[in-house]
Amino acid sequence: MDQRLIPLSALQHYAFCPRQCALIHNEQVWADNFLTAQGNLIHERVDSGEPESRKGIKFERGVLVAAPSLGLTGKLDLVESVVATGELFPVEYKRGKPKPSDWDELQLCAQALCLEEMTGTSVTQGALWYHQTRHRHPVQFSTGLREHTITVISQVRDMLKSGITPKAQYGKHCKACSLFDLCQPQLMVRDKSLAYQQRLFSTDTSDEETSE
Ligand code: SF4
């Protein structure tokens, strides 16, 4: 069994692009762009805050987690805990705004699963805080979200364990990718169209051969 713990950030990278995830976590390729630099700044600001308590809630920032059964490790932006009950509540800071997909919820749910494994207590809800909209979005860790999260964790683990970096799929998201220059996804499109032309040519030839 592969004992390697996957960083929580790999889930986010996988959601954005499986190739990006493999390049970063298997091939140790990294480059910053404006978006990643801005995201890093937001997380640094959050992480640098001291633990504090207000109105019966304790706030802990930059909380390190490791969950060997899940195979995950990472650092949580903020964990709020209700002093009276010990109830835990993870909060993740995001650079942008809420997305139509459930990937941000999924990443937060993975954090909750890590906290559950470490503390043995149930974590039922958390929140996403979006920098662009200054909005705090509550998230319930439903059975469906938990199942989806566990499925994705195992997909990421399988991909990283295979050591195979998926081929580039050129799309709109590539424009926001910090690895664009290193990945050069347009080359794949060019290769594909070249391969298509070659296939076309070879089909034409075989047709000619058959018709003789
Ligand atoms: S440039 Fe596109 S295909 Fe390449 S890693 Fe980035 S998002 Fe993925």
Atom of ligand 1 nearest to the CA of 173: 7
| 57 CA from centroid of ligand 1 (Å) | 41
Q: What is the DSSP string of the chain?
A: ---PPEETHHHHHHHH-HHHHHHHHTS------HHHHHHHHHHHHHHTSPPEEETTEEEEEEEEEEETTTTEEEEEEEEEEETTT--EEEEEEESS---SSSHHHHHHHHHHHHHHHHH-S---EEEEEETTTTEEEEEE--HHHHHHHHHHHHHHHHHHHHTPPPPP---GGGGG-TTHHHH-HHHHHHHHHHHHHHHHHHHHHHHHHHH-
User: What pLDDT is stored for residue 195 in this prediction?
Assistant: 65
CB distance 169 to ligand 1 below 6 Å: yes
pLDDT tens digits, 113-142 = 999 999 999 999 999 999 889 899 999 999
Does residue 208 have a pLDDT over 50? no
Whether 174 is in the pocket of ligand 1, judged by its Cβ within 6 Å, is yes
Please report, rounded to a whole number, the percentage of residues in the chain having pLDDT higher than 70. Answer: 78
User: Ligand 1 within 6 A of 198 CB?
Assistant: no
Correct CATH for 6-166 of 1.10.10.10, 3.90.320.10, 3.40.50.1820, 3.40.50.300? 3.90.320.10
Question: Does the model's pTM come out above 0.75?
Answer: yes
**Cβ-based burial of 188 (10 A; exposed 0-12, middle 13-18, buried ≥19):** middle
- In ligand 1, the atom with minimum distance to the C-alpha of 169 is 3
